[in-house]
Amino acid sequence: MENATSVTIQPSVGTVQSAGSRGVYPSSNTTYTLTAKGPGGTAEDIASVSVTAPAPTVAAAPVKKSLDELLSAETKDAFFDYDKSSLRADAKAALSSDATALKEIFQSFQGAKITVEGHCDERGSAEYNLALGDRRATEAKDYLVEFGVPASQLTTISYGKERPQCTDHNEECWQKNRRAHLSTTAGQPGGQQ
């Protein structure tokens, strides 16, 4: 209706301007009655709004982490003193925590094999460090087995000084390299390739 002096929308909206638009946001299907009044009389019209409930939200299935990802996230290195393969208190604490993590990981990855790597700092000959790394890996493996990790799922390897974590030439760096580290065995599902 042209020249309307008042316009109402019912239910619930009330008086609105006679020009322009007005948004409505009903929570269920609703039929609105629009009434326009002016010098020429009254006009009515209806408008129906259908409300469709949104589709239920389906939670995404959790993404299963790979064996490598779990091992990296859940385990810690065990560190050693210079020229030693005996476990320090902090190494024992790390390995007991690792044992708990490994038992949980093996529930998801039954039959997986984990390699206990022995590492050394750069000092000493390659041959000496390979033997020392082997003793460190064996000490760490034996400690994990004492805490209930199946020995059949653990292997050991020594990298000696060949795979340093840090390449600076100082005690802080060398300490980072004197470690036992857990890794997945190459070629197994979810393991390194």
Q: Say which CATH number the domain at 153 has.
A: 3.30.1330.60
Asked if pLDDT for residue 191 goes beyond 50, the answer is: no
CA neighbor of 160 nearest in space, from 117, 120, 125: 120
**pLDDT for the residue 73:** 92
In a shared domain, residues 179 and 103: yes
Which tokens hold the place of 57? 């939200």
Q: How confident is the model over 29-69, as pLDDT tens digits?
A: 888 888 888 887 888 888 887 878 777 777 777 778 889 99
Residue 7 — pLDDT band, cuts 50, 70, 90?
confident
Q: Which domain holds residue 42?
A: 1-16+28-51
Mean pLDDT of 22-32: 79
Q: What is the C-alpha separation between 23 and 10, in angstroms, rounded? A: 13
* Summary mean pLDDT of the chain: 87
What is the tally of structural domains in the chain? Answer: 2
Q: How confident is the model over 62-103, as pLDDT tens digits?
A: 778 889 999 999 999 999 999 999 999 999 999 999 999 999
Residue 2 — pLDDT band, cuts 50, 70, 90?
low
Tell me the β-bridge partners of 181. 117
**pLDDT for the residue 186:** 52
DSSP for 173-189, written as a single string: HHHHHSEEEEEEPTTST
**Is residue 165 situated within a structural domain?**
yes
